Amino acid sequence: MCAYRMCAFGGMMCRVVLVLWLVLSVVSGFNLHAERPAVYRGPEGSYFGYSVDFYRPTPESSTLSVLVGAPKANTSQPGIIEGGAVYYCPYPPNPDPTKQPYSCTQIPFDNANNRMIKVNGTREPLEFKSHQWFGASVRTHKGKVVACAPLYHWRTVKVDGEKDPVGTCFVAVQNFSAYAEYSPCRTNDPDPEGQGFCQAGFSVDFTKEGTLVVGGPGSFYWQGQVMTAGVAEILNGYSLKAVLRRVPGEKHTHAAADTHDDSYLGYSVAVGEFTGDSEQELIAGVPRGAQNFGYVAVINSTNLTFIMNFTGEQMASYFGYSVAVTDLNGDGYDDVLVGAPLYMERERESKPKEVGRVYLYLQHSPLTFSEPLLLTGTHTFGRFGTAIAPLGDLNQDGYNDVAVGCPFGGEDRSGLVLIYNGQKDLTARGLTLSQELYGAWTSSSGLSGYGFTLRGDRDLDNNHYPDEHATLQQSEGKAFSGSLNVCVSVCIYMFSQW
């Protein structure tokens, strides 16, 4: 069984990242500039753009760049095939790519080959980094960076040396001058019934204090798991020789009853404030939980106990595939958005249409939420809700805005991103669709997947408006940008099925 997005979406070629810009138009107000995006390039076949985030070395730094995951890239690691990489892409990009290939450089998170172990007098690999999908997830927070390889395998502690896909992550600080590995599921609890199929790093985020949050949807017969650890604790005392290492202060959710098997807790993660205290809570998507209706769990960050759930309305809609947190009506409370990209609209019972849906839960007071406000896709098989990105206040009206990816929408199914504006009376009026962004290429290019990955809420160009990435992944190898407000990821999909 596979809990990986590659299995969910099928094969793809990822090669392009778009950075779009906010511009002020007298006619249409504030818009993201999609006509002249900045272009970033990655190696062909590397899935460049599978994950993206903004990076600033320090909160005071005027330098801001884009980090791009390429989970099938080759590196200089001896003997490692397609181990994956994360690229540092300066902003603005190099206008002449002939002077600096692709305008992005690999970050040296890990330059080593597989560690070895002696078994009955024979040296054998202790770990297996080829095809580990390093760079499948990447997140930043105030100079801290985490990048993960959910398909990293290790030999386990058994004599017969089974290979378990426990997953692993690397953290970087001090402008990439210090690195440390964090593999919370590489433990003495192997095999499917333990943490052996954890795939740690499938999803990642940071709390506002900088605590790392890691999702591992494969633990405990795919019940899934969420883990937290402090970055300072990961770095302190780190040693390559410490293969089985429990980080001080590390916290884990634990195995539940076998009725929760195959639920995928940790498929997506986010953080927000929901209890009225000073501590943020965790949000974790469980898209196959609740008898395949899916749910999203609110988790206490102090002891990782479960507080409450939001449950999906339709079986197999993959409710919880994506999650996001932001205050959209300006009342000071964090609201929750949940994506269900396989939601089917039933115009006729005999012929439902798969359009995707996003659910918005408005928080009125601590742990008190509205019935969900619904955003429903209009493009059949468009996978609306695959990605959700808070954008900050794009139009400067005092209310935060949000982007939703629909990677197979549009007339030619090449994908689009929809921008929704927050407002005070969302219960009565709902979110306002203010703009639709399409890929900056012709339909003859054959590209699809625009909107597969989204990141926003950073001001790259110092124009006092938040910016966003839209990553685009394509076979020829280009990436685009503009006056940055949206980073959109686009993929070429060879086939598409869950």
Query: What would the pLDDT profile of 386-435 be if each residue is shown by its tens digit?
Result: 999 999 998 889 999 999 999 999 888 889 999 999 999 999 999 999 99
> Which among 18, 16, 91, 13 has a CA at the least distance from the CA of 438?
18
Question: Which domain does 244 fall in, by range?
Answer: 109-266
> Which among 136, 145, 179, 128 has a CA at the least distance from the CA of 57?
145
The residues, any chain, with a CB within 8 Å of residue 163's CB and separated by 6 or more, are 128, 153, 154, 155, 156
Phi, psi of 36 (to 5 degrees): -125, 65
Q: What is the pLDDT of residue 121?
A: 86
| Residue 248 placed within a domain | yes
Q: Which two tokens stand for residue 442?
A: 């012709």
The residues, any chain, with a CB within 8 Å of residue 54's CB and separated by 6 or more, are 64, 65, 66, 67, 140, 455, 458, 460, 467, 469, 487
| Residue 293 placed within a domain | no
| Residue 140 placed within a domain | yes
pLDDT above 90 as % of the chain: 68
| Residue 155 placed within a domain | yes
| Residue 415 placed within a domain | no
Q: What is the pLDDT of residue 494?
A: 31
How far apart, in Å, are the Cα atoms of 82 and each of 131, 163, 166, 258, 280? 5, 18, 18, 36, 37
Tell me the Ramachandran region of residue 283: left when phi exceeds 0, alpha when psi lies from -120 to 50, beta otherwise.
beta
Count the Cβ atoms, other than its own, within 10 Å of residue 271.
Answer: 22
The span from the CA of 448 to the CA of 409, in Å, is 9
The span from the CA of 263 to the CA of 221, in Å, is 9
Q: What is the pLDDT of residue 7?
A: 40
What is the CATH classification number for the domain harbouring 148?
A: 2.130.10.130
Q: What angle do CA 307, 312, 318 make, to 5 degrees?
A: 110
Q: What is the pLDDT of residue 94?
A: 64
User: With a cut of 50, which residues of the chain have pLDDT below it?
Assistant: 1-2, 4, 6-12, 21-29, 101, 442, 459-460, 467, 470-485, 490-498
> Which among 186, 168, 257, 261 has a CA at the least distance from the CA of 223?
261
| Residue 181 placed within a domain | yes
Question: For the purposes of burial, counting CB atoms within 10 Å of the CB of 290, is it exposed (0-12), middle (13-18) or buried (19 or more)?
Answer: middle
Q: Structural domain tally of the chain?
A: 1
How far apart, in Å, are the Cα atoms of 165 and each of 131, 133, 198? 11, 11, 7
Q: What is the pLDDT of residue 31?
A: 61
| Residue 466 placed within a domain | no
Query: What would the pLDDT profile of 341-354 be if each residue is shown by its tens digit?
Result: 999 998 766 788 99
Q: Which two tokens stand for residue 191?
A: 């095999």
Q: What is the pLDDT of residue 97?
A: 53
The span from the CA of 462 to the CA of 452, in Å, is 26
Q: Are 51 and 136 in contact (CB under 8 A)?
A: yes
DSSP secondary structure letters along 325-370:
EE-SSSSSS-EEEEEETT-EEEEETTEEEE--EEEEE-EEETTEEP
Phi, psi of 348 (to 5 degrees): -130, 135
| Residue 183 placed within a domain | yes
Q: Are 168 and 149 in contact (CB under 8 A)?
A: yes
Q: Which two tokens stand for residue 406?
A: 């629909």
Count the Cβ atoms, other than its own, within 10 Å of residue 394.
Answer: 30
Q: Are 22 and 32 in contact (CB under 8 A)?
A: yes
Phi, psi of 40 (to 5 degrees): -120, 140
Tell me the Ramachandran region of residue 195: left when phi exceeds 0, alpha when psi lies from -120 to 50, beta otherwise.
alpha
